[in-house]
């Protein structure tokens, strides 16, 4: 066991993100007093992830209910959420009890949403087991499910009671999934912490390994970026929008791919698009650096040329939009994100031509 790091997330409902190896014993410290029953939500295809969590809770005296769900985005549907609500009712989960979500970002999104909507809100502790979930999805209190019209369009804001990042789970990740998670870390470098970029540029190959010399530092730096932002703006009233850098096009690509593409791969392409928008609108020019760092770790930087009409339609249904006015997060400078509101259609298309394959 390594000494755990505790990253504090401020706000009206503050909580800690615990990071380390062999830190599962810290799980019970994140639950608030008075809990009797804990519902553990995890992917049905990966029982090896949920069993240790359920066992640790049972050994601590909690009554544990295991609720398996489909893996990935297939779990984030109203049908799955409705089944979980029924299970919570059948097992007598009350407002003083808790939900624990174990798995990747889709599972933690679902667990947070179900916890937020059951009895108008029960506490939830998230145990992310993928790189993407650790550095992004599980931190911040945004929970959601998908609809046929788009990703995360139905959701809630409920800060977790805590987040536990057990780094040993990263060792079993397929490399392509791990690399995809790097996109969110790289995003944190461009919008807030350039040291992240420098660490990856110094040894890109090491950055693609869970046992890399800077893995823990990269994870903790990205969590700190998100903690600082969401602690100041939980409900995305202003500052938190910067976390959507690269995501407007990314979400459109995910929908175009019927969610078969990895989220991080879509975000990588979306960041190149956002960098092109920044450059073409006379702001920061980080295009070359964006392309170089993403390419160095094996992430994609382009998308199909013929997809633009479909992507343009998808982007019109984006959470950042206000009425008919589109809003994009761009960079005024490195680590200085800004907003591009109501850009001309010609500018949007010109930026896409720069990234189309």
Q: Average pLDDT, stretch 196-220? A: 98
142 assigned binding-site residue? yes
Check pLDDT > 60 for residue 218.
Answer: yes
* Domain final position from 172, 195, 218: 172
For residue range 50-83, list pLDDT tens digits in order: 999 999 999 999 999 999 999 988 999 999 999 9
So which residues are the catalytic ones?
A: 120, 142, 184, 226, 236, 240, 244, 247, 251, 263
- Return the pLDDT at 260: 92
For residue range 98-135, list pLDDT tens digits in order: 999 999 999 999 999 999 999 999 999 999 999 999 99
175 assigned binding-site residue? no
For residue range 303-348, list pLDDT tens digits in order: 999 999 999 999 987 655 555 678 999 999 999 999 999 999 999 9
- Return the pLDDT at 1: 61
76 assigned binding-site residue? yes
107 assigned binding-site residue? yes
Quick one: CA dihedral 261, 226, 327, 323, positive or negative?
Answer: positive
For residue range 287-306, list pLDDT tens digits in order: 999 999 999 999 999 999 99
The CATH code of the domain that includes 191 is 1.20.1090.10
224 assigned binding-site residue? no
* Domain final position from 172, 204, 219: 172
CA distances (Å), 189 to each of 219, 223, 337, in order?
11, 11, 11
* Domain final position from 114, 148, 172: 172
212 assigned binding-site residue? no
Regarding whether 181 and 164 lie in a shared domain, the answer is no
Q: Average pLDDT, stretch 172-197? A: 97
- Number of Cβ within a 10 Å radius of residue 60: 14
Quick one: CA dihedral 335, 256, 298, 164, positive or negative?
Answer: positive
- Return the pLDDT at 318: 65
CA-to-CA distance for 113 and 125, rounded, in angstroms? 12
- Return the pLDDT at 322: 55
Which of 129-143, 235-249, 316-330 is the least confident region?
Answer: 316-330
Regarding whether 237 and 143 lie in a shared domain, the answer is no
Mean residue pLDDT of the chain comes to 94
**What are the start-end ranges of the E strands in 10-51?**
15-20, 37-43
The CATH code of the domain that includes 80 is 3.40.50.1970
- Return the pLDDT at 177: 97
For residue range 153-163, list pLDDT tens digits in order: 899 999 999 99
Regarding whether 157 and 31 lie in a shared domain, the answer is yes
Regarding whether 54 and 16 lie in a shared domain, the answer is yes
Regarding whether 108 and 213 lie in a shared domain, the answer is no
Q: Which band of pLDDT confidence, cut at 50, 70 and 90, is reported for residue 151? A: confident
């Amino acid at each position: 066991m390594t000494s755990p790091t505790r990253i504090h997330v401020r706000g009206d409902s503050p909580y800690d993100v615990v990071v380390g190896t062999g830190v599962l014993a810290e799980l019970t410290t994140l639950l608030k007093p008075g809990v009797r029953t804990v519902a553990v939500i995890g992917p049905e295809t990966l029982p090896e992830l949920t069993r240790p969590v359920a066992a640790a809770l049972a050994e601590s005296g909690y009554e544990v209910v295991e609720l398996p769900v489909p893996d990935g985005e297939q779990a984030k549907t109203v049908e799955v959420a409705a089944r979980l609500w029924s299970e919570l009712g059948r097992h007598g989960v009350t407002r003083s009890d808790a939900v624990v979500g174990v798995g990747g970002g889709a599972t933690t999104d679902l667990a947070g949403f179900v916890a937020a909507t059951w009895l108008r809100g029960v506490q939830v502790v998230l145990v992310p087991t993928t790189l993407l979930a650790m550095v992004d999805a599980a931190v911040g209190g945004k929970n959601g499910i998908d609809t046929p019209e788009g990703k995360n369009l139905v959701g809630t804001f409920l800060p977790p009671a805590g987040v536990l990042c057990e780094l040993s789970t990263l060792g079993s990740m397929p490399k392509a999934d791990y690399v995809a998670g790097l996109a969110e870390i790289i995003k944190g470098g461009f919008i807030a912490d350039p040291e992240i970029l420098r660490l990856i540029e110094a040894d890109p190959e090491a950055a693609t390994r869970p046992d890399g010399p800077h893995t823990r530092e990269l994870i903790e730096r990205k969590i700190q970026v998100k903690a600082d932002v969401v602690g100041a703006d939980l409900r995305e009233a202003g500052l938190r929008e910067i976390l959507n850098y690269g995501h407007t096009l990314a979400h459109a690509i995910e929908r175009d791919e019927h969610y078969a593409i990895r989220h991080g791969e879509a975000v990588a392409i979306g960041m190149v698009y956002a960098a092109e928008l920044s450059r073409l609108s006379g702001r920061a020019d980080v295009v070359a650096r964006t392309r170089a760092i993403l390419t160095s770790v094996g992430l994609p930087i382009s998308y199909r040329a013929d997809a633009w009409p479909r992507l343009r339609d998808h982007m019109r249904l984006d959470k950042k939009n206000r009425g008919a006015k589109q809003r994009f997060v761009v960079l005024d400078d490195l680590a200085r994100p800004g907003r591009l509101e109501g850009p001309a259609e010609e500018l949007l298309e010109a930026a896409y031509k720069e990234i189309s394959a």
